[in-house]
Structure 1
Amino acid sequence: MKRLTTTAFVLSTALLASTGFAAFSAHAQAGLPQTEGEVRKIDAAAGKITLKHAEIKNLDMPAMSMAYAVKDPALLQKVKPGDKVNFTADKINGAFTVVSIEPRK
């Protein structure tokens, strides 16, 4: 029975990793909700991204367009203006900040 449990755990871990689950940030894993949006503008020099997005429930923010700081400037290289995206956002040091972002497939 122990061998079956171990095998099931290993297989489920491999499956989750292969679906990109391991790529999610620690914040996304900590329970920040994914929000759908569209990239409107990227300002790499300022480390900001403008998104038109649905309601961000954890920030009690209605749907709108707004510029956000990004937690990691490398996130800006994953997307371009016009991309439909899924992202997580949080308030970090008083600023609304995109924590993770991925193009929607």
Structure 2
Amino acid sequence: MNYAKAIFAGAAFVLLTCSGAIAQQSMTGTISKVDEAAGKIAIQQAQGGTVGGSSGGTAEEFKVQDGLVFNAVKPGDKVTFTVTDSGGVKTITKLEKQ
């Protein structure tokens, strides 16, 4: 019985650890709006997988993690960013100009 509990606990730990890694994504795109008052940045994501593909669709708004500097980016800047999805809220945790 104790052996089964140990296996279950180990499996639960691995599942929780892996699910956190899956929720983090690194992406590229173009800044379309910076809203410092609301703590959000809108980014039009680069379309991947097509030759000559351009950014398509509408921009998506992301919450910005505390500590990121808003004045470092402006609309039109191409960026690489990392997003964490926690409870349906997408938050930028890393943002770099290309």
- Does TM, normalized by the shorter one, top 0.5? yes
- What residue identity is the alignment partner of 1:80? K
- Counterpart pick for 1:92 among 66, 86, 89: 86
What's the CA shift for 1:51? 0.3
Opposite residue 96 of structure 2, the aligned amino acid is E
Please give the root-mean-square deviation of Cα atoms over the aligned residues, in Å.
2.6
Following superposition, the deviation at residue 80 of structure 1 comes to 1.0
Q: Would the aligned equivalents of 1:75 and 1:100 in 2 still touch at CA under 8 Å?
A: no
Match of 1:70 in 2: 64
Per-residue Cα deviation, 1:37-64 (whole angstroms, up to 9, x for no partner): 0000000011000000136xxxxxxx75
Q: Percent identity?
A: 35
Match of 1:3 in 2: none
Q: Is the 8 A contact 1:50 1:66 kept in 2?
A: yes
User: What is the TM-score when the length of structure 1 is the normalising length?
Assistant: 0.55
Moved runs in structure 1, 4+ residues, more than 6 A?
Answer: none
**Is 1:34 the equivalent of 2:26?**
yes
TM-score (norm. length: structure 2): 0.58
The structure that is helix-richer by fraction is: 1
Asked whether the 8 Å contact 1:42–1:76 carries over to 2, the reply is yes
How many residues get paired? 70
Seen in structure 2, the aligned counterparts of structure 1 residues 92 and 78 have a Cα distance that, compared at 3 Å, is farther
**1:47 pairs with 39, 55, 59, which one?**
39
Q: Report which of the two structures shows the higher radius of gyration computed on alpha carbons.
A: 2
What pairs up with 1:10-21 in 2 under 5 angstroms? none
